[in-house]
Structure 1
Amino acid sequence: MTMFFILSKTLYFLVLPSTWLFISFIYFLFSKNEKWKKKLRWVVVLFILFFSNAFIINEVFLLWELPPTPFADIKQGQYEVAIVLTGVTSDYKSPKDRIYFHRGADRVLHTVRLFQEGKVKKILVSGAEFSRDGELSSTERSLKQVFLQCGVPDSAIWVENQSRNTYENAIFSAKMIKEYLPNKQNLLLVSSAFHLRRAEACFKKAGVKVDVFSTDFYAGDGGLDEIGIVSLVEIFMPSLDAWLKWNILIKEVLGYIVYKLMGYA
């Protein structure tokens, strides 16, 4: 597992657009080949324009993210369990009398709505939630506590707090499902839209059939007006947010490929 972690992080660093931009900068500083430097200059300009373009990354995310499911399409009592993956809270901030979301709070909010409308009967929170010192977070600062505060009864919440990654989410959740609901396979997997391809593949590999419910979208509905672009000039204006979104997408796609190669998904 340690070697897998090192290899995946190294590969991620090597394919980042920022890494290639840095390599190009070093080449400009030390190379004496003016012919290649001139060619590379234009390549770098096009490279920056591409990866900082908000419209392009939005369209790519639309292709990658799994689309949202309308609440009306889910029937009353359709799912025994909604499996909610953790990884959306942070324990790095004080005071410790509350729960801090860094992104993806709609994983909880949408699941709460599904429960309140009677479309899911139970909620399985899957994933270890660690504090800054590496210890497991207390119940008071866990995702379970958020569900309790939203009115979900304790009896309707299961917690799997052993898994440290998506592969283990599937393995440990599968054990709980098979133990408590051996004959029930009507399960709903709730996670971020960009992450659900890998998560669904992991659960399928673990022998658990799930339907997916996408949340936490990076992509708008498509079209220039949906992402705040109102003129042709703005299409070509560099966006730092677009650059950061590419990092997120590349990391996820790379993770999906590595999981496939490792036999995790």
Structure 2
Amino acid sequence: MLPINLLVELGILSLVLMLTRFAALGRKLAVTTLVLLALAASSPLGNLLLYPLESRFPPWDASRGAPDGIIVLGGSVDTDLSAAHRTPVVSHAADRLLAAAELARRYPNARIVFTGGTANLVSTESREADYSAPILEGLGIPRERLILERDSRNTWENAIFTKQLVAQKPGERWLLVTSAFHMPRSMGIFRTAEFDVEAYPVDWRMGGRDDLFTFTRVSGDGLARVDVAVREWIGLLTYRVMGRTGELLPGPGKD
């Protein structure tokens, strides 16, 4: 459960309790909820949770030479809204798509793979890869260069299905493009899947160490950072317990 959802539910529960013989408990819970909400919205909490994730992998070193392939993880396009409006709708993490276009121009011989199906629990015909393809074409990548993986529902399946699709040859170098906060979990998963990739982080949500103790002036931004960070830490813990990563917080070295 994400922090903002939990705080809303605690707030509702406190109001309900105030109407019962547990009114005193309800008032205490309401005060606690407001304090937690203020911390999440305005304090450096989100930055403190995000920094270990976003700083884990450094920017990719282009001096090593051209890659053989570029893998772009889904997560930018809202498939439900895209289906409703019959046009691609980018809801967040647009940097993943922009970086793919820039890398494709820089390395014209590299294979470009976009991997993303749908995260919906109920089966749907809407696939993120289908809506991302025209965006990438519009950014200058010819359709014949795109390899689309449209069946994955999560990062684990991104790795497994992409590995099967491209059949990486010994010595080939592949870049993995995803949000900086998502890179540790993604790299750990690809290593467990025995798909050797190099991290190409994008889509940072904070500036760096100087922002660690900065208070947020826009409450919505603070809540968003806390939600993103907590969700990712939960994902890291879950995938480690499931054996899909070799350590809790994968880093630049091998697991």
Query: Under a length normalisation based on structure 1, what TM-score does the superposition of the two structures give?
Result: 0.74
Does the 8 Å contact 1:166/1:199 carry over to 2?
yes
Does the 8 Å contact 1:99/1:142 carry over to 2?
yes
2:111 is aligned with 1:122: yes
Greater Cα shift, 48-57 or 78-87: 48-57
Judged with a 3 Å threshold, the aligned counterparts in structure 2 of structure 1 residues 129 and 120 are, in CA distance, closer, same or farther, namely farther
Partner of 2:205: 218
Residue 102 of structure 1 deviates from its aligned partner by 0.6
1:21-170 counterparts in 2 under 5 A?
21-32=11-22, 34=24, 43-66=32-55, 69-70=58-59, 73-75=61-63, 77-91=65-79, 92-93=81-82, 95-96=85-86, 98-118=87-107, 121-128=110-117, 134-137=124-127, 141-170=130-159
The residue matched to 2:188 in structure 1 has which SS?
A: helix
1:226-237 counterparts in 2 under 5 A?
235=215
Which blocks of at least 5 consecutive residues in structure 2 are unaligned? 246-255
The residue matched to 1:134 in structure 2 has which SS?
A: coil
Identity of aligned residues (%): 22
Partner of 1:3: none
Query: What is the CA–CA distance in structure 1 between the aligned matches of 2:195 and 2:240, rounded to whole Å?
Result: 17
- Counting matched residue pairs gives 242
Matched AA of 1:128: G
Partner of 2:195: 208
Query: What is the CA–CA distance in structure 1 between the aligned matches of 2:152 and 2:179, rounded to whole Å?
Result: 17
Runs of 4+ deviating beyond 6 Å: 130-133
Query: What is the CA–CA distance in structure 2 between the aligned matches of 1:138 and 1:169, rounded to whole Å?
Result: 12
The residue matched to 1:100 in structure 2 has which SS?
A: coil
2:234 is aligned with 1:242: no
Partner of 1:6: none
Q: Which has the greater radius of gyration?
A: 1
Query: What is the CA–CA distance in structure 2 between the aligned matches of 1:18 and 1:41, rounded to whole Å?
Result: 10
Judged with a 3 Å threshold, the aligned counterparts in structure 2 of structure 1 residues 40 and 79 are, in CA distance, closer, same or farther, namely same
Query: What is the CA–CA distance in structure 2 between the aligned matches of 1:138 and 1:59, rounded to whole Å?
Result: 31
Residue 258 of structure 1 deviates from its aligned partner by 1.4
Residue 90 of structure 1 deviates from its aligned partner by 2.3
Judged with a 3 Å threshold, the aligned counterparts in structure 2 of structure 1 residues 33 and 155 are, in CA distance, closer, same or farther, namely closer
2:241 is aligned with 1:254: no
Judged with a 3 Å threshold, the aligned counterparts in structure 2 of structure 1 residues 262 and 69 are, in CA distance, closer, same or farther, namely closer
Query: What is the CA–CA distance in structure 2 between the aligned matches of 1:254 and 1:189, rounded to whole Å?
Result: 22
Greater Cα shift, 142-151 or 205-214: 142-151
Which blocks of at least 5 consecutive residues in structure 1 are unaligned? 1-10, 230-234
2:172 is aligned with 1:182: no
Post-superposition CA distance 1:195-235 (Å, at most 9, x none): 222211111111112111112222233546x99x7xxxxx4
Query: What is the CA–CA distance in structure 1 between the aligned matches of 2:216 and 2:173, rounded to whole Å?
Result: 46
Matched AA of 1:259: Y
Query: What is the CA–CA distance in structure 1 between the aligned matches of 2:175 and 2:128, rounded to whole Å?
Result: 26
Judged with a 3 Å threshold, the aligned counterparts in structure 2 of structure 1 residues 80 and 223 are, in CA distance, closer, same or farther, namely same
Judged with a 3 Å threshold, the aligned counterparts in structure 2 of structure 1 residues 210 and 169 are, in CA distance, closer, same or farther, namely same
Judged with a 3 Å threshold, the aligned counterparts in structure 2 of structure 1 residues 51 and 152 are, in CA distance, closer, same or farther, namely same
Query: Under a length normalisation based on structure 2, what TM-score does the superposition of the two structures give?
Result: 0.77
Does the 8 Å contact 2:67/2:107 carry over to 1?
no
Query: What is the CA–CA distance in structure 2 between the aligned matches of 1:32 and 1:130, rounded to whole Å?
Result: 40
